[in-house]
């Protein structure tokens, strides 16, 4: 149980284009989803927290207009990187918690974004 998927697993795009990453909870309803960014050989940096049907809460220093987060249902959250630049290249990981166990986050496999 508690499986989280991400799609795509990797994506390459041109500078200036937008990229959408999906995060799905496959076997539970995710009351809260989190988006992280991980640079090579570094820890995870929390970007934002989203609750279903509400606006996402962004961490300090994260541009909300650049990283659009939508949490339209209890099983799906999307992260859209708008007008991507090479410095946005990174590993993006989502996680989700369920109402039954809000202290434990279940992580997706991550999405590798490369902006050319």
Partner 1 sequence: AQSVTQLGSHVSVSEGALVLLRCNYSSSVPPYLFWYVQYPNQGLQLLLKYTSAATLVKGINGFEAEFKKSETSFHLTKPSAHMSDAAEYFCAVSERDKIIFGKGTRLHILP
Whether residue 50 contacts residue 30, with contact meaning beta carbons closer than 8 Å, is answered with no
Counting contacts by CB under 8 A, is residue 4 touching partner 1? Answer: yes
# chain residues binding partner 1, by CB under 8 A: 24
Counting contacts by CB under 8 A, is residue 7 touching partner 1? Answer: no
What DSSP string describes 79-94? EEE-S--GGG-EEEEE
From candidates 19, 78, 90, 110, binder to partner 1 by CB under 8 A: 110
Q: Binding pattern to partner 1, positions 30-49, x when CB under 8 A?
A: --x-x------xxxx-x--x
Counting contacts by CB under 8 A, is residue 60 touching partner 1? Answer: no
Q: Which residues pair with 46 in a beta bridge?
A: 36
d(CA 49, CA 116): 28
């Amino acid at each position: 149980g508690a499986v989280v998927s991400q799609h795509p697993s990797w994506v390459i795009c041109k500078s200036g284009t937008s990229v959408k990453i999906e995060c799905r909870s496959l076997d539970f309803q995710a009351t809260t989803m989190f988006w992280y960014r991980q640079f090579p050989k570094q820890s995870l940096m929390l970007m934002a927290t989203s609750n279903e049907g509400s606006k996402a809460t962004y961490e300090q220093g994260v541009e909300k207009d650049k990283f659009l987060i939508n949490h339209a249902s209890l099983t799906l959250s999307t992260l859209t990187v708008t007008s991507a630049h090479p410095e946005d290249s990174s590993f993006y990981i989502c996680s989700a918690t369920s109402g039954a166990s809000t202290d434990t986050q279940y992580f997706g496999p991550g999405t590798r974004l490369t902006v050319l």
